[in-house]
Structure 1
Amino acid sequence: MSLPIILALAFLGSLFLIFLISRMGTATLRAGSRQMAGEIESSLADAFVFVNRQKTAAWSTVVMIMLPVLAFLLSHSILIALAAVPVALTLPKKTLRRMRKKRIETLEKQLPDALLMMSGALRAGASFPTALEAVVQESSAPISQEFDLLMREIRLGIDLDIAMRNVEKRIPIPDFLMMTAAVTIAREVGGNLAEALESVARTLREKIQMDGKIRALTSQGRMQGIVMTCLPLFLMLVLRFMEPKAMAPLFNEPVGWATLAVIGVMECLGYLSISKITNIDV
């Protein structure tokens, strides 16, 4: 077999291999974006935010592709572009986690007032479903959405214990477990449900006040963690534009890449350590 034929076969084989790798990469990217879109859609539906799965998959794919490209265009460094790939892959889930956390924090703040409203309605002689309806009408989202769904399940004939457990799955916070325990005990053993709900509301309000005091006392430590983490990165970027020749080995040579890896690991460890110290759970 002559040399030109061998070279032609090798060239065609290389093209075929590149085509297979690109198809596999595209299929993997599509499958990953669909799976991520499904998780985001179901999680947002639990938060009463309804989106289209195709649009969610499209936006997730755009974010995963455009963020590394944008990092490369701004920095002109393949290393920084590769470092932006994990950030792009985790950005949609982190955004979703942030949305769920914000919703749960709002629920925790609204729950004591809602329990006091239910207690007042029960003291006035209303039944438990009527008290729930009063909370739904007088409260704002998201607590009104959760209690409205609870009220609808009770009206459909679902047992109260099962309906309360469904709410516990949607709202995985210890504060709501106290309300569920109070309702269950008052239903099985007997007692004044209004006083039990009022006691739970008073306890939750004191807990929220304690959380606020702790966050105020630890705010300086959290800010120090953010400043100490961002300051070396900011100085690195400033020196990159002020002294490009002096900073070039840091981004273009293996020793510089290893130094950047060590800096990244130390930055993450320092931020996590400070976050762990300032995160005090009550």
Structure 2
Amino acid sequence: MLLAMAGAAVAAALLAWLAQAWARLAWHRYQQAFTAEARLRLSEFFVFVDPLQLWLLTVLLCGVGALLAYVLSGSIAVAGLCGAAGLYMPRWLAARAKAIRLARFDEQLPEALLSMAWSLRAGASLPVALRAAVADGAVPLSQELGLLLREQRMGIGLEQCLENLHARMATEACGLMCAALRIAVRTGGNLSDALERIAVNLRARLLIHRRIHALTAQGRMQAWVVGALPVLLLAVLDKLEPEAMAPLWRTPAGWTVLGLILLLEAAGIAMIRRLTRIEV
């Protein structure tokens, strides 16, 4: 009996040691992946912050969020979910910031193309027209075109600079501009007229996008209202009947129901937003 208990204790200690070693390795790898991705994302936004500081801030926020969730709900599962959501939040914020940056770039591009077309008609060369667009433009367009000019001054060819620009700003509008400039560099032609036509088409496309966005605003709002109703109902019922709602927060069956509710909520919101998204 003593030998069996000793063997079980040794096995449990070995499993615990292997688990903590695996957790430490996974944590180290996730930290390396997080800092590498953060460095890349921040460089895209021309923000120069130490990724290690951002990692420490993320871990701190995750810990505080998990602690608050445990204090408010008394559930370890809810606290774990909040902590995991805190780890995912920086990636979501970075993706959201990138989408906003791309949208602003597309909004600023027609005016920049018209400015370049007028400069070319006045007799300026393409680099001079680009410098004028950088001087008159706003962020992020001025940053991206300025980086293109700096790459040119370092000896990189214009076509490669345009490919780099399109890789950073992977939008259809930027692709049209880069294609027009590459064709003009290779074959020549009236670049000012081409840029002006692209600018007019892009401006009309942006106008259609804004009109569609306004017409589908009610559908998007309905998605958030319908998604918020079950959450508000759970909060009200928890205040009115805390004893009846206690199994939902403190039992495995209740956690399973909560997970299913969250899954269905996310699927419903995504479906409604997909129905109201119209591509032009």
TM-score, structure 2 normalization: 0.92
User: Does the CA-based 8 Å contact 1:112-1:205 persist in structure 2?
Assistant: yes
Partner of 1:105: 103
Partner of 1:49: 47
Q: Tell me if 1:119 matches 2:121.
A: no
Distance in 2 of aligned mates of 1:34 and 1:240:
41
Distance in 2 of aligned mates of 1:18 and 1:150:
54
Partner of 1:91: 89
| Structure 2 counterparts to residues 120-159 of structure 1, below 5 A | 120-159=118-157
Partner of 2:173: 175
Question: Given residue 91 of structure 1, which amino acid in structure 2 is its aligned partner?
Answer: M
Measured after TM superposition, the shift of residue 51 of structure 1 is: 1.4
Question: Given residue 28 of structure 1, which amino acid in structure 2 is its aligned partner?
Answer: A
Identical pairs, percent: 36
Q: 1:59 to 1:23 in 2, by over 3 A?
A: farther
Q: Unaligned 5+ residue runs, structure 2?
A: none
Partner of 2:200: 202
- Identify the match of residue 32 of structure 2 among 9, 31, 34: 34
Q: Tell me if 1:68 matches 2:66.
A: yes
User: Does the CA-based 8 Å contact 1:229-1:271 persist in structure 2?
Assistant: yes
Partner of 1:225: 223
Q: SS where residue 169 of structure 1 aligns?
A: helix
Q: Tell me if 1:165 matches 2:187.
A: no
Please list every run of at least 4 consecutive aligned residues from structure 1 whose deviation after the TM superposition is greater than 3 angstroms. Answer: 5-20, 63-66
Question: Given residue 61 of structure 1, which amino acid in structure 2 is its aligned partner?
Answer: V
Distance in 1 of aligned mates of 2:269 and 2:12:
45
Q: SS where residue 50 of structure 1 aligns?
A: coil
- Identify the match of residue 21 of structure 1 among 19, 30, 33: 19
Q: SS where residue 125 of structure 1 aligns?
A: coil
Distance in 1 of aligned mates of 2:229 and 2:115:
48
Q: Unaligned 5+ residue runs, structure 1?
A: none
Question: Given residue 31 of structure 1, which amino acid in structure 2 is its aligned partner?
Answer: R
Q: SS where residue 111 of structure 1 aligns?
A: helix
Distance in 2 of aligned mates of 1:223 and 1:82:
30
- Identify the match of residue 251 of structure 2 among 250, 253, 257: 253
Distance in 1 of aligned mates of 2:207 and 2:199:
12
61-70 vs 10-19, which moves further: 10-19
Q: SS where residue 126 of structure 1 aligns?
A: coil
Instruction: Output one character per residue of 1:257-279: Cα deviation in whole Å (capped at 9) or x when no partner.
Output: 33323322221211111011011
Question: Given residue 98 of structure 1, which amino acid in structure 2 is its aligned partner?
Answer: R
Distance in 1 of aligned mates of 2:37 and 2:204:
35
RMSD (Å) for aligned C-alpha atoms: 2.1
Partner of 1:271: 269
Distance in 2 of aligned mates of 1:265 and 1:218:
24
Q: 1:214 to 1:75 in 2, by over 3 A?
A: same
Q: SS where residue 26 of structure 2 aligns?
A: helix
TM-score, structure 1 normalization: 0.91
